[in-house]
Structures are given as structure tokens and as C-alpha cells.
Amino acid sequence: MVSWQLLCGRCGTEHAHDRLQGLCQACQGPLLVHYEHGSVPSLERVLQRAPGQFRFPERLPCPEGMRTPTLGEGATPLLPIESPDAEIEQKSFWIKDEAQNPTYSFKARGMSVAVAMAKTLGAEALCLPTAGNAGVAASAYGALHGLPVHIAMPKNTPGGIARQCRELAAEVTMVDGTIADAGAWIAKRGQEQGWFNVATLKEPYRIEGKKIMGYELFWDLGKLPDVIFYPTGGGTGLIGMAKAFDEMEALGWIDSKRPRWVCVQSAGCAPMVRAFEQGWEQAGLWENPEPTSAFGLRVPGAVGDFLILRALRQSQGTAVAVTESELRQATAEFAGRCGLWMCPEGGACLAAWRRFRGQAWLNGSESVVLFNTGGPLQYLGD
Ligand SMILES: Cc1ncc(COP(=O)(O)O)c(C=O)c1O
Ligand SMILES: [Zn+2]
């Protein structure tokens, strides 16, 4: 049996984990899972197990009675790309292709764990705001666990996203404004109706699902890369993987050296880049975020901003904002050159990587992993 504590990531207050929890009751910070060391199989034994999201249950919250039915999430390929760009040499370059998850994005990972936990702890219905992929994943795992799902999304979200959510039996409401407006709307309704809110970092377990991407990098490479490019909205994946690396160090699998994070955002909504450059510990709200085809990056305020900034600085990492034309061009050129059509968020990472050309910060002999967090098809249509 896995034993863990639920502690606030900001003030450290402990919260009981035998019931549904949202944000910290003392300071409204995000709650994080801390595992007691317990009995853990050796790395060799773990590697003998079938790959997939639930390969290492010793580092997932698994209370008694929890069921984890699966849609086949996790174990996505780490694709070696020989020559990602005609003019830039990068000896070791991989793409972690999260589009190959159920519901075509990495959001399946977080939802596979968060919805299983919510069900175990007695939730009767779920709600969340979404700019796209999280809504589809929540709908799918809600259906899998027999829980109704209520979703609010900004009116300009691609029609295919709402369609997928509805096909998966969710109730969808289109809201004026950004994801922040959709978030405020659904939080109010959810509270009135008694729906459990599974918005980014507003419950503790999506991050536990997303962190498995970090374990998989290590399991596949036998070490961690020098640099990771990650498209950052709410930052769950980045915070989760940074947490996974800390857990791996506590297990004695790695030393204290970390991959340098490159937090990638879109120029029209780049609160983390601004805060990183200004030396701030919190990002605050980005006023008037501009539309971008990379919907997942249009997050003007992130609950876990301080955790993202901390991870960037501790890893000697950095943050880069790319323009819409840069990310579109990078996506198209890469698709034609390498045979992989990435989502705009993945393309944003590629555009960010190109920015380092000729700069001392990243040299051609370092190993780089870039995250393609989803597929492009869900963005088609209006
Ligand atoms: C395809 C895609 N990439 C990246 C993100 C940002 O994810 P995170 O919350 O981990 O920063 C999202 C979030 O919606 C997304 O859908
Ligand atoms: Zn707190």
C-alpha cells in the first residue's frame, strides 16, 4: 500500500487525503502529493513491467478500492529526430509524442489519475473549464468511470473540441472571454451544483498523472536529457515532471543534476516569460491575452506560477515567447521535413528551439527533448 501526505505547495499545510480536496484551505495554493519512502521495487524490476501510465503504482496515489480502468494512456514514443532543421545541428534530438495518447493529447495522463481518484473519493459529477484538450480528456475518463462531466469553454474554441466532448457525453457551455472567464463561470456553477472541479492544479492528482512523462523520459533514455522544451499554459506537465525528477533522486535513480527547462509560451500571452525575465516569484495576471492557434498556451494566470518559476530557476532553465508566425512556420516546415505534424503548442517549442541557434546557452552536442503535447486535428474547423 502506498502511503503519502497531501501538503500545500505554498505554505506546507497538511490536508487529509481520504476525501475530495481542492486548493489549500489556508492560502489557496495548490496541494501536492508527498510519498513516504515505503517499499519500492528496484529500477530493474520496474522496467520489467509492462509500460504505460500505471507502470509504477508505488509513486501514484492508489487508495484502497481505487479502480484504474484504462484507455491505453501513457508509454508514448520518444522519437529520435535525425535532422530536425536543415541549418541547425543538434546531435541528440527527440520528440516525446503525446499525440499518441487516447483523446490525442497528454491531458489523458492527468485525467486518468484525477478522475479515478475523484470517483474513489465519492465525487458524483465533475466540472472544469478548458481551452480544448483537457475537456476532451475529462469527458472520456468521466465516461469511463461513469461520472457526468460539465465543461465551460471560451467561445472561440475550435468546434471539433466541443463536438468531441459532447460525443463523450459531457455537457458543454460556450462562454465569452478567455479560459479564465470560463473558469470563473464553471467554478460558480460547480459550487452551486456540488460538482467536483478538476481544473488545472485546483485538485492534487492531475499533476500526479502528468508527472509520468518525466519517469518515461528516464525509463526510455536510461538518463535525463540536458534540455527540455515544454509548451506551458497552466504548467501542470512542467511542475509534474520536475516533481518526478525529485522523486527519482529520492529513490536513488538519479543525482541532483536536472535537465534545463525551456518554458515556451506564445508572445500574446506570456506571463511566465515576463515573470522569469523580471525576476518575479509569481507571474500575476496577463492582461488582454491575444488569440493564438496554440490554445493550450492562452492561460493568462496560472495557480502554480510560483512552482513553474521555481523549477525554471532551480534547473538553470529559461523561458521563451514565440510569435504566431514563428510557430506556424516551424510547425509546417517540420511536418514537411520530418513527417510529423505537431499541434501548434509542439510547433511553438520547435520555434523556441530555433531561437537558440548560434547562442552559447544551448550547444549542438547537448541532448534535447521537445514535447509535442497533442495532435493537430482537434484544432481544425471553426
Ligand atoms: C496541446 C497542449 N499543450 C500544452 C498545454 C499546456 O499545458 P500545461 O497545463 O501542462 O502547461 C495544453 C493545455 O491546454 C495543451 O492542450
Ligand atoms: Zn497553503
Q: What is the pLDDT along the chain (382 residues), one digit of tens a residue?
A: 789 999 999 999 999 999 999 999 999 999 999 999 888 999 999 999 999 999 999 999 988 889 999 999 999 999 999 999 999 999 999 999 999 999 999 999 999 999 999 999 999 999 999 988 999 999 999 999 999 999 999 998 888 999 999 999 999 999 998 888 999 999 999 999 999 999 988 999 999 999 999 999 999 999 999 999 999 999 999 999 999 999 999 999 999 999 999 999 999 999 999 999 999 999 999 999 998 999 999 999 999 999 999 999 999 999 999 999 999 999 999 999 999 999 999 999 999 999 999 999 999 999 999 999 999 998 886 5
For 33, the 3-state DSSP assignment is strand
Nearest ligand 1 atom to the CA of 344 is 1
What is the residue-wise DSSP string for 341-367?
Answer: ---HHHHHHHHHHHHTTT-TTS-TTSE
What is the torsional sign of CA 323, 98, 261, 116?
A: positive
Q: How far is the CA of 75 from the centre of ligand 1 (A)?
A: 18
Q: How far is the CA of 117 from the centre of ligand 2 (A)?
A: 21
User: What is 76-382's CATH number, 3.30.1330.60, 3.40.640.10, 1.20.1050.10, 3.40.50.1100?
Assistant: 3.40.50.1100
Answer for the pair 125, 148: CB distance below 8 angstroms, yes or no: yes
For 70, the 3-state DSSP assignment is coil
Residue 193's H or E segment, with its range, is helix 179-193
Distance from chain centroid for Cα 359 = 28
Closest Cα to atom 7, ligand 1: which residue? 233
Kindly list the distances between the CA atom of residue 10 and the CA atoms of 29, 30, 85, 201, 236, in Å, as whole numbers in the listed order: 6, 7, 41, 13, 15
Task: List the chain domain ranges.
Answer: 76-382
How far apart CA 340 and CA 58 sit, in angstroms, is 34
373: cell is 503535447
Query: Ligand 1 pocket: which of 96, 105, 210, 263 to mutate (most atoms <8 Å of CB)?
Result: 105
For the entire predicted model, the pTM comes to: 0.97
Q: Which residues of 314-331 are buried (b: 16+ CB within 10 A; e: fewer)?
A: ebebbbbbbebebbbebb
Closest Cα to atom 13, ligand 1: which residue? 296
Taking phi over 0 as left and psi of -120 to 50 as alpha, with beta for the rest, 226 belongs to alpha
Residues whose beta carbon lies within 6 Å of some atom of ligand 1: 105, 131-134, 200, 231-237, 296, 343, 345, 373-374
